[in-house]
Amino acid sequence: MKVTVFGIGYVGLVQAAVLAQVGHKVVCVDVDEKKVDNLNKGIIPIYEPGLVPLVKENVEQGRLVFTTSAEDGVKHGEILCVAVGTPADENGSADLKYVLTVAETIATYMQSYKVIINKSTVPVGTADKVKQKISAVLQDRSSDLSFDVVSNPEFLKEGDAVNDCKKPDRIIIGTDNEEVKELMRELYAPFNRNHDKIIFMDVRSAELTKYAANCMLATKISFMNEISNLAEIFGADIEMIRQGIGSDPRIGYQFIYPGCGYGGSCFPKDVQALIRSANEADYKPSILEAVERVNARQKTKLFEHVLEHFHGDVKGKQFAVWGLAFKPNTDDMREASSRVLIESLLKAGARVKAYDPKALDECQRIYGNNDNLLLMGTKEACLTGSEALIICTEWNQFRAPDFDVIGETLKSKVVIDGRNLFDPKMMKRRGYTYYAIGRGDSIRHQA
């Protein structure tokens, strides 16, 4: 099938590459000329495991093309996917200007029937706005061309997006048109062979399903962080609690790991957007508001531990930070807990040495050159001259470090662990003062 994807971000690029891999002919359109030029040269703008060879292979085979020409993109595709960003505006609601701009562009250039698939995460009712925009432009053109708008939200996890796209848990499609349903079945047939993963529903239900899924996962994280704070107060161990409740099949083990807060491009933005949509409908979403408050508070815990240990005085002191990305296997630092920590340390007059396997360039882009923020090439290089080690991201390479080297290199054997990577008893035996999240009768395990 001939497919055009508008927007070459995480969603658009991964979806386009995977669709091309199974044989569809895909054209990707983006307004960023530099990004398009780089992609045509094989330079991928994001880090995502498995994406680079997938893109290169399909570009070489001619199944995947990148362009800035929206007219060519509309002309090519019988199916047009909208995968542009919907950033949060000042009040937290999703900004639809890019989605509606693509809709206007499609209506301007279309010369035949089109199916417009909205893959961007958008508020309920956005498909209606897209229809209205396209219809208005077609009316101005005195055109009676027909089209359909489908809601087909993505459920990709950063760091595993390629696999999620190749082997989706479910394929949500919002449409009431039977002919469109058959087109969508044809599009996704290569990913729907083992058993039927397609779930058809009305458009508004599909739009809300995406928000509901992300908000449910964010709720589980904030709930566990709330319980971890209670564990600290009551002298319980959140790791034991996690195992105890996770063994209940109604709850399960996924997304019940406490830590220093969730981040990324999805959970924070989507929780805020759904809160805003609820408020606009005169409904108070109490649980969602609590989820957001708990997460914001949790992101301050690492700095609070620093202040506690150093008695509120960190001016002139240096700290080692392991992990900058909001999660492992990505270079994405949007809404990352590391940013709250680093900015708090710098504001308090401290110096930071930081390392991340993939996010150093992104950190450099965000903070620029700062004499008090040094980005190091190895995790060990962060330790020299640092008062304590602070862990923000649970990269695998951080899970079994050389504790002798850490202890010998740090000025003091202090580890503040925002991801509960280590056993508190083991850390105590090794002579460390260890701050974790909800572990045992005290957040501080001191030798």
The pLDDT tens digits of the residues spanning 144-186 come to: 999 999 999 999 998 899 999 999 999 999 999 999 999 999 9
Q: Are 389 and 402 in contact (CB under 8 A)?
A: no
**Residues with catalytic function:** 266
Please name every residue paired with 431 in a beta bridge, in sequence order, or none if there are none: none
Q: What share of the chain is helix, strand, coil (3-state, %, to 5)?
A: 45, 15, 40
Inform me whether the pLDDT recorded for 129 exceeds 80: yes
Mean local confidence (pLDDT), 250-263: 96
Pairing state of beta strands 433-435 and 444-445? Answer: antiparallel
Distance between CA 321 and CA 139 in Å, rounded?
57
Could you read off the pLDDT of 405-432 as tens digits, one per residue?
999 999 999 999 999 999 999 999 999 9
Inform me whether the pLDDT recorded for 111 exceeds 70: yes
User: How many helices (H) and strands (E) are present in the chain, helices listed first?
Assistant: 17, 15
Distance between CA 22 and CA 8 in Å, rounded?
19
Structure tokens at 46: 């994001």
Q: Are 237 and 183 in contact (CB under 8 A)?
A: no
Q: Give every CB contact of residue 378 below 8 A, 6+ residues apart in sequence.
A: 355
Q: Give every CB contact of residue 73 below 8 A, 6+ residues apart in sequence.
A: 4, 6, 27, 28, 29, 67, 80
CB atoms within 10 A of CB 86: 20
The alpha carbon of residue 319 and the mean position of all alpha carbons in its chain are separated, in whole angstroms, by 27
pLDDT band (50, 70, 90) for residue 445: low
Structure tokens at 250: 């109604």
Inform me whether the pLDDT recorded for 363 exceeds 80: yes
pLDDT band (50, 70, 90) for residue 88: confident
Q: Are 152 and 199 in contact (CB under 8 A)?
A: no
Could you read off the pLDDT of 30-47 as tens digits, one per residue?
999 999 999 988 899 889
Inform me whether the pLDDT recorded for 86 exceeds 90: no
